[in-house]
Structure 1
Amino acid sequence: MADLWMGNVEPGTTDEEIKEFLIKYGFPPFDAIEHIEGDGSRPAVLLTFAGVGPEALRHLQPRVHDMFWKNHKINVQVMKDRSE
């Protein structure tokens, strides 16, 4: 299981839009999503991929990290494995 942090997401972006965006760049569908609103200026999402290891996500992460999407430059990071 691996988690992916996607920060600076355009407010109002739907789960389906996020899924379609990531699949377009080769990511598998995520299994869970948690919205992190913060102060509202730079919302983020934490995505969980149940059948995917962190190394697989690290391989895909450069495809979308620092990409300009929906009027925002998104920040995408693979989170440290919870079992480490």
Structure 2
Amino acid sequence: MADMVIGNIEDGTSDEEIQELLVKYGFPVYDHIEHVPGDGSRPAVLLSFKGTEPAALRMLQPRIHNLFWKNRRINVVIMQERSDD
């Protein structure tokens, strides 16, 4: 299982818009999404990909990291692998 954080997304961006962006750039479909509002200035989403290795996401990361999307420059971080325990 791999987790990825996309930060600095525009507030109000829908789950469908995020999925469309990811599929457009070759990412697999995520299994779970959690919106992280933070302090409100730079909302983020935490995405979980079951059955996907972090290394696979790291290979795709450069496709969208620092991409200017919806009036924001998004940043993408692939999280260390964690157990499901």
TM range (shorter): over 0.9
- For 1:77 and 1:38, how far apart are their aligned partners in 2? 16
- Which structure 2 residues correspond to residues 3-18 of structure 1 after superposition, within 5 A? 3-18=3-18
RMSD: 0.6
1:23-42 equivalence runs, <5 A: 23-42=23-42
Deviation string, structure 1 residues 10-58 (Cα, Å, up to 9, x no partner): 0000000000000000001000001000111100000000010000000
Q: What is the TM-score of this pair, normalised by structure 2? A: 0.95
Shift of 1:82: 1.2
Alpha-carbon separation, structure 2, partners of 1:37 and 1:82: 23
Alpha-carbon separation, structure 2, partners of 1:26 and 1:65: 13
Query: What are the within-5 Å matches in structure 2 for residues 2-81 of structure 1?
Result: 2-81=2-81
In the aligned structure 2, how far is the partner of 1:81 from the partner of 1:13? 26
Counterpart secondary structure, 2:48: strand
Sequence identity (%): 65
* Superimposed CA distance per residue, residues 57-82 of structure 1 (whole angstroms, 9 cap, x where no aligned partner): 00000000000000000000101111
> Given the two structures, how large is their TM-score scaled by the length of structure 1?
0.97
Cα separation, 2, equivalents of 1:50 and 1:16? 19
Q: Which runs of 4+ in 1 moved over 2 A?
A: none
